[in-house]
Every structure is written in C-alpha cells, then in structure tokens.
Amino acid sequence: MIPIGIEQHAVTRILFQDFAPWMVIVFYAYACAAVGVFAWGVYVQLRKYLAGRHAGRIDWARIGGRIADTLRMVLSQRTVRRRDAAAGWLHTGIFYGFVLLFIGTSTITLQEDILAPLFKIHFWYGDFYLLFKLVLNVAGFALLAGVIYMMYRRGWLRPPKLDYTRPDRQKTDSDWSRERYRIEDWAFLWTLSLIGLTGFLLSATRMVWLEQDPAVWDTRWWAPVAAAIATLLKAAGLDPAGAADLRMLLWWGHGILALTFIALIPYTKAKHIVTAVVSWLIRDRAPVARLPLGDLEGQRIGFKEVKDVDSRYLLQADACTKCGRCHEACPARAAGYPLSPRDLVLTLREHANQQLGEIIPLSTSAGPISLIGDGEAQIRAETLWACRQCGACTEICPVAVEHVPLINMLRRTLVDEGELDPALQKTLGAVAKSGNSFNESRRKRARWTKELPFEIKDARKEPVDILWFVGDYASFDPRSQKVSRAFAKILHEAGVDFGILYDDETTAGNDIRRVGEEGLFQQLANGVIETLGQCKFDRIVTTDPHTFNTLKNEYPQLGGVYKVDHASAYLRELLATGKIKLARKLDYRAAYHDPCHLGRLNKEYEAPRSVLAETGATLIELRRNKDNSFCCGGGGGRVWVPDPPGVSKVSEIRAREVAEIEGLDALIVNCPKCMTMLEDAVKTTGNEGRFRVLEMTELLAEAMEFTPRSDTPNVVEAV
C-alpha cells in the first residue's frame, strides 16, 4: 500500500503543522466554547421534554427489541426512502457520509488529545491512515452529493410538500408562510456543503503545499477526490507557497464552521440527528390502533397546556424534519381542510419553545397559555376537527411522530369544554342515550334479521362458536343491512355456529373515542365487556373494521381480551377449509379500497384480496393502496359531521381516483362507513352507472348465487 522507500510513520498528517502556539490555544478555546454551547443546548432541550407528562406507554421490558429495531431503521434508512426514493437514497448518502466523517474526527481526537499525550500511543499512520483517508474521502463525497441534490430539490424541483404555507392560516396571518423554517433549511444545507467543500479544498491545498514530500504526494490518490482537486489547482497555477497560505485560511474556515455546527445542533434542525433516533426508540408500536387510555379521575383527560403533553410528543415535535410526507398523505389537507399534520406538530414545537424556552429556560410563572386557540403557536379547533384519524400521517412519518394520538388528546379537551360541531354533539348525545349513533331504540337493532329465512342464535342465551358483533351501521343503515343479511346467509350456508347479541349490543365505541369523548367510550366499552362476560363463545367476528380495531386493540386496556377476526379474514378461512362452496366465477374487473382501520391500523391487506381472487374477479389495484390507501373521509367521527362549504369531499377525491380506471365493473369496499361515503361520492361525482360499489361480502354472495343472476352482468360458471 505504501510506495517503496517511504517510512510507515511518515505517512500521516501533522494536525497543527506550522502552527504558532497561540493558534493552538485559540483553536482549543473555541472548541471548548463550542462544546459548552452544545451542552447548554442539550440541557435546555431535556428540561423542555421533562416538563411534559411522563405517561408514555414505553414497553421497557422489550428494550432489547426496541434497540435492535431502531438500529435497523437507522442503518437501513428504509423509512426515509418510502414514497420518495430519490430523496431517500441521497439522504442515505448524507447520513453515512456524516456518520463516517464524525467517526473520523473522533478518531483523530482520540489519538491527538487522549492516547498520544497520556499514553504515548500512536496509530494514525501508515496503512491505517491510507484507508482512513480513502473512507473519509468517499464519505465526504457522498455527503456533498446528497446535500447538493437536496439544495437542487428545494431550489428548483420545489415539490409541493416542501411548501410551508399553511392551510390553517390566511395570508394576512403573520405565521402563514413560516419563512423562518425555510431560512433554517437553507442555512443547514449551506453549512453542510461548506464544511464538505472546505474539507476537500483543505486536503487538496495541503497536497500541493507538500508536493515535495513523497509521503504526501505519492500517496495522494488514497484521497481520490482531494487528489483530483489538487491536480486542478496545480493546473490553474497554484504553487506550494500560495497553497501554504490558502491552506491556513481553509484550515481555520473549515475548523470554525465544523465547531459552530456542533455547537448549534441542539438549537437547529440538526437536532433531528439525535431526536429522530430517540423518537423511534420510544415510539408506541400501535399509536393509531390503540389510543392512550384516559384517566377519568385525573385533573384533565386531554392536552390543554404544554405541561399536559406527554414528554415523548414534545421530543417528537423536535424530531420532525419538515419533510412533508405527512402533509402530502393527509386526506383532509388534500380536500382543502385547514389541517396539515406537519404544521400541527411544528405548532406544538413553537408553543413548547415559547412556554419553556428554546435557548434560555423560561419561567411559566406568568401563567400557561392554552395549546388550542387562534393566536400564534396555538392550534385551532377547526384544525383538530378536520382530522379523520386515518393514520396516513403517522404511517408514513420516517421519524415515528405520533400525530394521531396527539390530535386525539387535544380533541378530548375540546369535547370536555363543549367546543364541537352541533351535529357531532347530537350524535354523542344519541349514543349516550340509546347506545347507537342512529338514535334508534335498542329493540330495533336486530330487525334486519326478520327478512332472513332462518333465525340467528341469541348469543346471550346459548353458547356459540362465533359471536358476530354486528355494529351500528350494519344494524341500522338500510344499505348496510343488505350486507349483514348476505353475511348471515354465507355463515349459515357454511354451517357456522354463530349468534348475535340482539338488543344488548351497543356500539363498541371506536369512533366515539376518536372523536375525543373518552369518558363515553370507556362507559360503552365497560358495558360491552360486561355483556360479553355473560356469553360463551370462541371468538368474535365483525364486518366493521372500526369495531374490529377497538375490540382487538383497545378493549384489552380495560380488561376485555378476546380473539377477534374481521369478516374478510374469517371468510378466507372458510374458503380455505372448503366450507364455502362457490357456484360460479365472476368475470369482473374490480378495484379494492383498503379501509384505514383494517389496512393501515391492523396491517390486514391480503385476506380481502384473497377472497376477491377466489370469486374469480380480476383485481385492479388503485393508485393509492394498502398502507398508502386514501381515506374515504368517514373516520374520526367525520361521517356524522357535514362538510363545510368551500372544500372538496375526501370521498369524492377517492371516487374520482377510482373512476380513472377504464372498464371497471365494481369498486369493492370492506367497511360500512366506506360503503356509505364512497357510494354517495360515486353519485355526486357523476360516476353512477359506470361501476357499482359492492361490499366484499356481497361479491362473495354473488359467487355463491345468493344474489339473482340478473343482478350480475358478467358471470361465468364455476369449474
């Protein structure tokens, strides 16, 4: 590796070569000051996080698994590449470039400031030094290439998700554009690029300065980028004397830039280097499927002031890199509602910094300010009510920010203070009175069964294998009742021993909780748990993904632990075991809409597709599917609230997306609320008659010939 005639120990770099003693003193003084500023910033940030509640649901018993998963995320950078591969791969270059350069700098510090002066140990020379140079040159190039692309992306490509103008503000509002963040982004990128450029130029000018030294010049290509620059500098006429002067200037410029960057990490966007990793480490594994359990006896059930906010949400607010993935994914924002998950998280950050101090710790003796309001660094009520609780934002966030539970905890404060839409207030009153969102008498809950040619067992009175938890829409909505009857016929035909709770069933409470009415949710859940405790069954099956999610993921918080399946998974099981016999194959071109509560919240994507395939239908995947599915707009209680004028309906955006597919026969849904929202949207967008909206159960019923042949335009006999 080292040319013949050159001593191993000569192949190295003298750190302060030709420096006067006062220069070394000035450098170390500045370095100590930078470390001090950094340490103070860390203290201020930790103080801010610890000012919040310490009520996070961190499973410390599985810390080993958490650490391993965090390391996989950090090293693979997989979350950064999702749905934005170009930016993700270049960020990977920045990440590895930065890490390797940091390790390289730490290696120099280890020898020069610790091992050499204290123990007379030297290792930074010879073959090790050459490999060191090569690795750091490649790392520096990767860093610089990534940063230059990010500058090009922000300056010329300008993707809409990097537009910081806010949908929850007007142009006349002082915090509408958030120009501060744009300036911070550019300052961050320019600082990194200048550190990289000055580093390469410094190495190149050193080569020219010491070109007469074979230990430097003859080994220069171990730093290929710097060597290429040195060749260009020599060709441009730079001689050793000029290189010596330029090298000194670059040395100080590069050193001060690097130390200043380190000092400012806790105060700038650069803090995400640490906070993003910690955010991933302490994240809730199911932040959307399982919302925080409210303490009904506590002083406050939601978030009103910054001291009410869990510490982890305060840290996550600082972990946010403003990448805009959540902003881009949010269906409410796409429809014109005043909500951007990114802007909401940034508002929490600004509020925490105002109340607790961003640079200097502040006293809150003047009195806390509410998180919710119309002022700067406050979150507006209409922003919170725009959320569908669909989890698209939380799913795509590369740094594990938990937007959905944060919004839900703020909603709880609005509900507690009575600041909610009159239509929603009316629905909550109906649920509290009748146990269902339709405000119907409990005695009417099972009327849909009267049209069946058989009687469904009463699970309150006799044991059953399958307890079918029907749900509100499937019980009271006329369109969904058709689906319920089809599902009952399928179970009966398959010989399944099943029953329902009749008039003792109430809503499971999923959407009540997502609205923010935690007290009513717990009241409903405890009632359901008591009822189920009096029944004998093996497992619960439901056709409603909202009910499925809350029974499976949230009832265990209150002691209700059951085996719960969604209907699509159970139907796949019946098909696989041969209990369901198909009479014919359906020659349909069908698109499938993934319900948020079944897909994104519970990762069930394959069961419904398997059932669809069994019917013979050809699946045409929608442009946004599976974990990137676009919400129907009915979640989070929005199915009960009318859309305000001036905005598009979320469901209509989805319906238009479906209508882009030529020759489609049917849109298959798998949720009563999706059925309600999308069937209406197909009509209002002028697509009625182009394709039908069918529930998965109805599709299977057609293949089993429960639906008259005249209702199915394209049918071939089953083989």
pLDDT digit string, tens, across residues 189-244:
999 999 999 999 999 999 999 999 999 999 999 999 999 999 999 999 999 999 99
Residue 21 domain flag: no
Average pLDDT over residues 489-494: 97
Q: Are residues 404 and 480 in the same domain?
A: no
pLDDT of residue 364: 56
Q: Do 468 and 451 share a domain, yes or no?
A: yes
Instruction: Mark whether 268 and 338 lie in a shared domain.
Output: no
Domain boundary among 225, 250, 278: 278
CA distance 522 to 442: 19
> 548 and 430: one domain?
yes
Token pair belonging to 535: 């029944």
**Which pLDDT value is given to residue 363?**
63
Strands (E), 547-655: 564-566, 584-586, 589-592, 618-619
| Model confidence pLDDT, tens digit, residues 554-613 | 999 999 999 999 999 999 999 999 999 999 999 999 999 999 999 999 999 999 999 999
Range of the domain at 273: 62-278
pLDDT of residue 361: 81
Tell me, what's the pLDDT at 709? 42
Q: Looking at 397, 416, 435, which one is the last position of a domain?
A: 416
Question: Does residue 1 carry a pLDDT above 90?
Answer: no
What is the rounded CA–CA span in Å between residue 481 and residue 252?
Answer: 76
What tens digit of pLDDT does each residue of 43-69 get? 999 999 999 988 656 677 789 999 999
Mean pLDDT value of segment 340-348: 97
365 with 431, same domain: the answer is no
494-501 mean pLDDT:
98
Which DSSP string do the residues of 663-710 spell out, in sequence order? T--EEEE-SHHHHHHHHHHHHHTT-BTTBEEEEHHHHHHHHTT-S-GG
Establish if 5 belongs to a structural domain. Answer: no
3-class DSSP assignment, residue 324 = coil
- Residue 691 sits at φ, ψ, to 5 deg, of -160, 160
Question: Average per-residue pLDDT in the chain?
Answer: 94
535 lies in a domain? yes
* Nearest-angstrom CA–CA distance, 551 and 556: 8
pLDDT for the residue 56:
58
Task: Give me the amino acid identity at 51.
Answer: A
Q: Are residues 573 and 433 in the same domain?
A: yes
Distance CA 97, CA 104 (A): 10
For the chain, what is the domain count? 3
Q: Which residue has the tokens 């009966």?
A: 492
Q: Indicate left, alpha or beta for 689 from its phi (over 0: left) and psi (-120 to 50: alpha).
A: left
In a domain, 459, yes or no: yes
Task: Let me know: does 356 contact 51? Beta carbons within 8 Å.
Answer: yes
Please list, in sequence order, all residues whose beta carbon lies within 8 angstroms of the beta carbon of residue 47, skipping any fewer than 6 positions away.
Answer: 356, 357, 361
Same domain, 523 and 639: yes
| Inside any domain, residue 31 | no
Stretch 152-170: mean pLDDT, rounded? 94
pLDDT above 60 for 365:
no
- Name the helix (H) or strand (E) containing 499: strand 498-500
* Co-location of 229 and 332 in the same domain: no
Same domain, 457 and 561: yes
Identity (one letter) of the amino acid at 680? D
Q: What are phi and psi of 457, to 5 degrees?
A: -60, 150
Q: Give the SS3 label for residue 565.
A: strand
Say yes or no to pLDDT of 359 above 90.
Answer: no
pLDDT above 80 (res 708): no
Pairing state of beta strands 498-500 and 457-458?
parallel
Inform me whether the pLDDT recorded for 707 exceeds 70.
no
574 contacts 496 by C-beta, under 8 angstroms: yes
Let me know whether 395 and 459 are in one domain: no
Mean of the pLDDT values across residues 145-174?
95
Amino acid at 160: P
**Which pLDDT score is estimated for 17?**
95
pTM assigned to the model: 0.93
Per-residue pLDDT averaged across 142-148, rounded? 97
Of 549, 543, 590, nearest in space to 571 by CA: 543
**Structural domain contains residue 450:** yes
Q: At what angle do helices 672-684 and 478-493 cross, to 10 degrees?
A: 130
DSSP 3-state assignment of 717? strand
What is the reported pLDDT for 710? 35
Closest CA to 287 of 625, 584, 600, 500: 600
User: What is the CATH number for 336?
Assistant: 1.10.1060
As a whole number of angstroms, the distance between CA 646 and CA 631 comes to 19
Average pLDDT over residues 690-712: 82
Per-residue pLDDT at 719:
35
- Number of neighbours of residue 1 by Cβ within 10 angstroms: 12
What is the amino acid identity at position 620?
Answer: I
Distance in angstroms (rounded) separating the CA atoms of residues 309 and 412 = 12
The reported pLDDT for the residue numbered 5 is 84
Is residue 637 in a domain? Answer: yes
Instruction: Return the CA Rg of the chain.
Output: 31
- Shared domain check, 328 and 252: no
pLDDT band at 436 (very low <50, low <70, confident <90, very high): very high
**Residue 684: how many other CB atoms lie within 10 Å:** 12
The model's pLDDT over 516-557, given as tens digits with 9 standing for 90+, comes to 999 999 999 999 999 999 999 999 999 999 999 999 999 999
Averaged pLDDT, 375-384: 96
- Segment 71-81 shows an average pLDDT of 96
Q: Is residue 38 part of a domain?
A: no
Is residue 2 pLDDT above 90, yes or no?
no
Residues 230-264: tens digit of each pLDDT: 999 999 999 999 999 999 999 999 999 999 999 99
Residues in Cβ contact with 60 at an 8 Å cutoff, skipping those fewer than 6 apart = none
Rounded average pLDDT over 74-81? 96
Q: Which of 684, 703, 705, 683 is nearest to 692 (CA)?
A: 683
CA angle 196, 199, 201 (to 5 degrees): 110
Q: How far is CA 45 from the centre of its chain?
A: 23
Domain match, 333 and 259 both = no
